[in-house]
Amino acid sequence: MRIAFIGDIVGRPGRKIIKENLSKIRMEYNIDFVIANGENASHGFGLTIKNCDELLKAGIDVITGGNHTFDKKREMFVLLETKNVLRPDNYPPGIPGSGIKVFDVEVDGQTEKLAVINLMGQFAMPTVENPFNWAVKLVNELKEQNIKNIFIDFHGEATSEKRVILMMLKGQVSAICGTHTHVGTDDLQIMDSTAYLTDIGLTGCRDNVIGMNDKVPISKATTGLGGHFEVPNSCKSILQIMVIDIEEGKATNSFKLKKLCNQSELIKTDAIID
């Protein structure tokens, strides 16, 4: 099974570069299933029904979330009930939706199970249950069901929290990829058959501040006076994808692809295998 994960999609530029390139990339690299974090896909904050349908039609199979999941609350409640959309599973009890789903993936004419888990860290985040204990519980439950192929999107501010999840679950899950900071890290690796990347980085504008127009962030940094962050209407965009090959629950190969809007060639970086 070959799966792929796309980092935080930020606004229209992120959606546009996905629509223009994902189908071709899926075909060229024989990708069986695509996961994407879409909590910033609509105007940089949250996800609308219209934009969700747009991304699913473009070739994404399931959309994960994070601290901005409920920015467009009413539409998100509908999406969680009707579409392949997840929110962090460790939100407190009583929150609609789920952060785990098992999919049937067609691979070379046969069906394989793939579990996708969405979790959120604790540092500088909304109130959530302990993600570390929660992750162990979910993985144990999946193992009891003999589900071996497991992918985790860990949405967190602190890189240390993401590394903790790796050290706790290496050899037990297929892949872990971090989201939220919008800044990609250079530590793609496979450790004890678990593919890992601390943060995949954003898919959207790359020539500003975390995908947003730089005027308000600069004002906030220099004067303390903030404002509403806006996604630029035009910019230099980037599409970032982590690709993982999985056999019997174990990652056998992984690489990262970057597509820049002004370049035809993809930039490919292979994982270090430990």
Written as one letter, the residue type at 216 is V
The per-residue pLDDT of the chain, averaged, comes to 96
Please state the rounded mean pLDDT for residues 6-31: 97
pLDDT band per the 50, 70, 90 thresholds, residue 12: very high
CB atoms within 10 A of CB 125: 18
Question: What tens digit of pLDDT does each residue of 35-62 get?
Answer: 999 999 999 999 999 999 999 999 999 9
Question: What tens digit of pLDDT does each residue of 100-157 get?
Answer: 999 999 999 999 999 999 999 999 999 999 999 999 999 999 999 999 999 999 999 9
CATH of segment(s) 2-273:
3.60.21.10
Of the candidates 43, 68, 180, 182, the residue annotated as catalytic is 68
pLDDT at 167 over 90: yes
pLDDT at 233 over 90: no
pLDDT at 237 over 90: yes
pLDDT band per the 50, 70, 90 thresholds, residue 96: very high
pLDDT at 67 over 90: yes
- Quote the pLDDT of residue 239: 98
Closest CA to 131 of 102, 103, 160: 160
Distances (CA, A) of 132 to 58, 114, 163, 169, 189: 33, 21, 11, 9, 21
CB atoms within 10 A of CB 253: 15
pLDDT band per the 50, 70, 90 thresholds, residue 227: confident
- 225 in Cβ contact with 206 (< 8 Å): no
Active site residue 68: yes
CB atoms within 10 A of CB 73: 10
Please state, for a pLDDT cut of 90, what percent of the chain lies above it: 91
- 231 in Cβ contact with 11 (< 8 Å): yes
DSSP β-ladder status, 250-260 and 267-270 = antiparallel
- Quote the pLDDT of residue 197: 98
- Quote the pLDDT of residue 226: 82
Residue 18 or residue 109, greater confidence: 18
Please state, for a pLDDT cut of 70, what percent of the chain lies above it: 100
pLDDT band per the 50, 70, 90 thresholds, residue 271: very high
Residue 252: exposed, middle, or buried by beta-carbon count in 10 A (0-12, 13-18, 19+)? middle
- Quote the pLDDT of residue 274: 84
- Quote the pLDDT of residue 68: 94
- Quote the pLDDT of residue 13: 96
3-state secondary structure of 31: coil
- Quote the pLDDT of residue 149: 98
- Between CA 247 and CA 229 the distance in angstroms is 42
- Quote the pLDDT of residue 228: 84
